[in-house]
Structure 1
Amino acid sequence: MRPTTRRILAAATGLALLAAVPACADDAKQAAENVPGVTDTEIVIGTHQPLTGPAAPGYSKISAATKAYFEHVNSKGGVNGRKIVYKVMDDGYNPANTENVVRKLVLDDKVFALLGGLGTPTHTNVLEFVKTQKVPDLFVSSGSRNWNQPDKYPTTFGWQPDYTVEGKILATWVKQQFPGAKVCHFGQNDDFGRDSLAGVEKVLGAVAAKQTYTTTNQQVGPAIGALKAAGCQVVISASIPGFTALAMGQAAGQGFRAQWVVSNVGADYTTLSNQLGDKKVILEGMVADNYLPMVGDTANPWIQEFTKIHQKYNSANPVDGNAIYGYSMAYTFVQALLAAGRNPTREKLVEAVQKGGFRGPGLTPFRYSDDVHAGYSGVRLNKVQNGAQAYFGPTYTTDDGDAAIVEAHLALIDEGDLRPTGERIAERAGVSLRTLWTNFKDMETLFAATGRLVGERLDALWQPIPPDLPLTRRIAEFCDQRAEMLEVLAPSARASALREPFSPQLRRNREAAIARVRHEIELVFEPELAHAGPGRDQLLDALTVACTWAAWAMMRDAMGLDVAAARATLARTIGALLVDAIAAGLR
């Protein structure tokens, strides 16, 4: 586990790029044939949400924000000329209802994809059905590890950090801040609570006491009384908002004073304050985590842009953490839809998410790959003080298992050991060889994890470049960043080249790296790409080739150029390609 200084505050102007140039009508009509939910003018997607029931407080507003973001995109022409239709069905946070509404969405409404279905117990109930129907099941609104089973559920993907990742990070902070304290766990009686507890106990060992609740029973008094009787000094809570409020309210009523450390899914201050009313003072000092910009950070360009969209399309609801969640998830979906191309199919959409490379308001990178369908890789802690919720400390990333092994693998490569053996990796990580192969079934899975770590390193170096800057300045800033990234990439790229002929995973890692740089080029040089007209894709291919490791290695290794000379050559190449495209577009 490690803190990262990654800054991911993007210029708000970049959000406008998600409204893509409309596709040719004939192409769109041809693409829409035999693709469920896709016509030449629309893409229909659906979701199940708790608009009523025990999870409705706060969560019922997420889909309203998601729909508002799609209205914003649709007002700019949609995605490749198609407007997004988002069908929201209420399941009341009841798994039986979820099965009914999802069947309707897939079989009757024939949606192209499911997006953001909310809840661990609810969505778990439809996984097998979704699998048999081969429907893209994107960005489930839950941190359960169930969504990260690509071999078993190949079309399902998480979005938020999983509860084990979150539990490990919260427990690490507690271990540092409260050494020797009695730490206890309060959690939902399903995979949400169990995954959270698993993460906590990976760091702390067995907790001093643990209690659970069920969403059909609001009587949490006995559970809170048991934690008090056990002498708990810190309570890590894996709870939805309604039960966070009930638990903390009961604790206050029983005179049980402990430090509450709450999962992000149940810790939005605005939602909890509305539920507690005059008793909201009990939230003072509550520590939680998040991975998106805090709603109170009005200087953040993402918050500024989302607020504008909210005021225009969603003003009846509060701007709170649930709204920011909905807007951010919708932004990621539009990126995935763009990456699926002008003629999207369900298969292309799944492949686009697996390639990853998405950017957005999150504080940490996504983990997506062929072998990992989990979402954000970490969180940052926040605290309620004087009626406001604000971040403190660094942002942390981790994974479900032992990140020390992956870091050891990459450290050996960085030091010049381009073919480290399992024995050397285990020795460097300070674990047994058996532990290494317990966490990673073979070298291919280790290569996948190492590829994700390299991706995180590159994400930490990326700084969004507003597309409205003068072209010369954009080229300069882009080449500065690209040169730095390629030098960071160099050791692992050289190591991969030795084994790639025999490793499908290393080839997938290379494809993901190419997709990453291609996406960066689209963000920075979209105005010039638009000028290219029918030659847009060819220009994008040429720019991508110029910016990849293969071109950089030729300059640095074969030609002997130093970093400055290679960077200057890259800038000249990009400039020449873009100027030529602009000139061709004006002729």
Structure 2
Amino acid sequence: MRISTISIAVLAAAGMMAASPALAQKKYGPGASDTEIKIGNTVPYSGPASAYGILGKSYAAYFKLINEQGGINGRKINFISYDDGYSPPKTVEQTRKLVESDEVMAIVGNVGTAANAAIQKYLNAKKTPQLFLATGATRWNDPKQFPWTMGWLPSYHAEALAYAKYILKEKPNAKIGVFFQNDDFGKDYVKGLKEGLGDKASSMIVMETSYEVSEPTVDSHIVKLKASGADTLFSFAVGKFAAQSIKKVAELGWKPLHIIPNASSSLGSVIRPAGFENAQDVTSATFAKDPTDPQWKDDAGMKKFHAYVEKYIPEGKATESTVLTGYSIAQTMVAALQQCGDDLTHENLMKQAANLKGLELDGLLPGVTVNTSATDYSPIDQFQMMSFKGERWQRFGDIIKGEAPTVAGR
């Protein structure tokens, strides 16, 4: 009897609100209606980076989960994902189709710096949100010039700032050697490190050397850096080049504090090829839980994640760290859409995406949260240091905030 009384009261209140349109006015832009929210995406399901196609499948699986739970404020997500083959011209072609033919509300979670850069001006001209990108380039945090674009992965620049804070605190007299990839990836890290070290950068950095991705081996660079007298080495390198640097340092019997970027901390693609024995005490930083680490077996967020993988994307078990990134990006998108309420316009979605405060995600480390504002489009800029011991990474120390400034001079 009590339940029906409450129901009647709720219905009466709903009727009063319906009689006053100003109290509950729905607003819709392209891609939104009373029943659905249309979201678009391109990822490389084929081509040289097809391994990242699992991200698209992860988004689709999470949105399916949300739809089965009732959707977003009663609306189902209609997720449209196309293959761009990791080719920027293809990304442009497929994105135009999503915006002009499919009329999506937003582009979400696209992979890669070059692909996203190719569509950034177009989407900003169309005032279509380009949200939570699977790339850590600093250029996505430029709300003045590109108010419709926002990244998701922590920027390389912010990560390097966190490393600088760590070094200044733990090893203020370090002699630093910097080894970096000669492109935006490597240069973002170097810029962040120097900015973080401030006026001590010139005295602490004793040598810098860059490599080209066309080089078969980077051994000669490591030999030069050892000869420089450096006792701290930053290898801002990816994949096989990071593995080569770890292996060569060990072969030389050199014992610097060796820091590699989070992007190169993968057991499968970097640490194992370098050799576990060679990677002992190599240091990096992380912001997310490792779904393969037994320390999280009783963690509530990881239990939810593993149940999602089991039910919705069992093929993702082999690449769970990448799947967790997709899951987390989709979770962030759902949070922004929920904040939109019944105002589902491009403008309000962007406003809500830039108003995420202390958002906790299942896959983020305790103490790391998503935070955005109208002047800061970098959702994650907190890290915890970790060191490789035995056959796994071990986290240590407090959460470090790598302040992520907006792009300068814009």
**TM-score, length basis structure 1:** 0.57
Of the three residues 281, 284, 288, the one matched with 1:288 is: 284
CA contact (8 A) 2:59 2:326 kept: yes
Give the equivalent residue in structure 2 for 1:372. Answer: 376
> Residue 42 of structure 2 is aligned with which of 43, 48, 55?
48
Q: 1:255 to 1:164 in 2, by over 3 A?
A: same
> In the alignment, is the contact (CA less than 8 A) between 1:356 and 1:369 conserved in 2?
yes
Opposite residue 49 of structure 1, the aligned amino acid is V
CA contact under 8 A between 1:262 and 1:287: conserved in structure 2?
A: yes
Aligned position for 2:32? 38
Counterpart of 1:356? 356
- Gaps of at least 5 residues in structure 2 are 1-17
Of structures 1 and 2, the one with the larger relative CO (CA 8 A, separation 6+) is 2
Q: How does 1:128-143 map to 2 (within 5 A)?
A: 128-143=121-136
Aligned match of 1:98: 91
Q: SS in structure 1 opposite 2:139?
A: helix
Q: Which has the larger radius of gyration?
A: 1
1:244 partnered with 2:239: no
Partner of 2:310: 311
Which runs of 5 or more structure 1 residues have no equivalent in the other structure?
A: 1-23, 403-438, 442-587
Query: SS where residue 244 of structure 1 aligns?
Result: helix
Contact kept, 8 Å, 1:144 with 1:162, in 2: the verdict is: yes
**DSSP-derived class of the 1:360 partner:** coil
Give runs of aligned pairs for residues 564-579 of structure 1, distance below 5 A.
Answer: none
Q: CA deviation at 1:54?
A: 5.8
Q: 2:66 aligns with which of 55, 67, 73?
A: 73
Alpha-carbon separation, structure 2, partners of 1:260 and 1:54: 30
Distance in 1 between residues matched to 2:93 and 2:214, nearest whole Å: 20
Residue type at the aligned position of 2:312: Y
- CA separation of 1:113/1:62 partners in 2, compared to 1, >3 Å: closer, same or farther? same
Which whole-Å CA distance do the structure 1 matches of 2:349 and 2:134 have between them? 18
* Contact 1:55–1:242 (8 Å) recurs in 2: no
Counterpart in 2 of 1:340?
340
Greater fraction of residues in helix: 1
**Structure richer in strand, relative to its length:** 2
Instruction: Give the Cα separation in 2 of the matches to 1:87 and 1:242.
Output: 34
Partners in 1 of 2:350 and 2:224 — Cα distance? 46
- The 2-side partners of 1:232 and 1:50 are apart by 40
Cα offset for 1:222? Answer: 4.6
Secondary structure (helix, strand or coil) at the match of 2:344 reads coil
Structure 1's 377 and 87: CA in aligned 2 closer, same or farther, altered over 3 A?
Answer: same
Pairing 1:180-195 to 2, within 5 Å after superposition: 180-195=173-188
Aligned residue runs from structure 1 range 572-587, under 5 A: none
Q: Distance in 2 between matches of 1:123 and 1:107?
A: 18
**Residue of structure 2 equivalent to 1:302:** 301
> Where does residue 386 of structure 1 map in the other structure?
390
Conserved 8 A contact 1:121-1:191: no
Residues 294 and 390, structure 1, Cα contact 8 Å, conserved in 2: no
Amino acid at match of 1:344: L
- Corresponding residue for residue 198 of structure 1: 191
Query: Using the alignment, how far apart are the partners of 2:270 and 2:219 within structure 1?
Result: 18
What's the secondary structure of 1:184's corresponding residue? Answer: strand
Q: In the alignment, is the contact (CA less than 8 A) between 2:383 and 2:402 conserved in 1?
A: no
TM-aligned CA deviation for residue 200 of structure 1: 0.8
Assess, with a 3 A threshold, how the Cα gap between structure 1 residues 384 and 123 changes in structure 2: closer, same or farther. Answer: same
Quote the offset at 1:321 in angstroms: 2.6
User: In the alignment, is residue 62 of structure 1 matched against residue 55 of structure 2?
Assistant: yes
Which range moves more in the overlay, 178-187 or 242-251?
242-251
Q: Secondary structure of 2:189's match?
A: helix
Task: Give a deviation string over 1:60-100, Cα, whole Å, max 9, x none.
Answer: 43333332222211221221233323334444544444333
Q: Distance in 2 between matches of 1:133 and 1:226?
A: 49
Q: Does 1:169 align with 2:162?
A: yes
Alignment identity in percent?
27
Alignment-derived partner of residue 145 in structure 1: 138
Tell me how far apart the structure 2 counterparts of residues 52 and 319 of structure 1 sit (CA, whole Å).
Answer: 17
CA apart distance, 1:109: 3.3
Aligned residue type for 1:135: T
1:205 counterpart SS class: helix
Match of 1:107 among 81, 100, 104: 100
One-letter amino acid of the counterpart of residue 305, structure 1: K
2:322 is paired with a residue of what secondary structure?
helix
Match of 2:5 in 1: none
- Aligned amino acid, residue 208 of structure 1: V
Which position in structure 2 is the counterpart of 1:263?
A: 261
The answer on whether the counterparts of 2:178 and 2:234 sit within 8 Å (CA) in structure 1 is: yes
1:427-442 equivalence runs, <5 A: none
Q: Secondary structure at the match of 2:333?
A: helix
* Aligned partner letter, 1:356: L
Deviation by residue 1:234-289 (Cα, 9 ceiling, x = unmatched): 33233444543354345556666544312222223345356x2x834433322111
CA-to-partner distance for each residue in 1:470-517, whole Å, 9 max, x for gaps? xxxxxxxxxxxxxxxxxxxxxxxxxxxxxxxxxxxxxxxxxxxxxxxx
Distance 1:111 1:166, change over 3 A: same
Deviates more, 1:96-105 or 1:281-290: 96-105
The residue that corresponds to 1:87 in the other structure is 80
| Kept in 2: contact 1:120–1:191 (CA 8 A) | no
Q: Considering only aligned residues, what root-mean-square deviation do their CA atoms show, in Å? A: 3.3
TM-score normalized by the length of structure 2: 0.79
Native 8 Å contact 1:54 1:216 kept in 2: no
Map Cα deviations across residues 324-373 of structure 1 (whole Å, 9 max, x no partner). Answer: 22211111110001111134121110111122225123333434112221
In structure 2, relative to structure 1, the CA distance for the partners of 1:255 and 1:122 (3 Å cut) is: farther
- Which residue identity lines up with residue 397 of structure 1 in the other structure? K
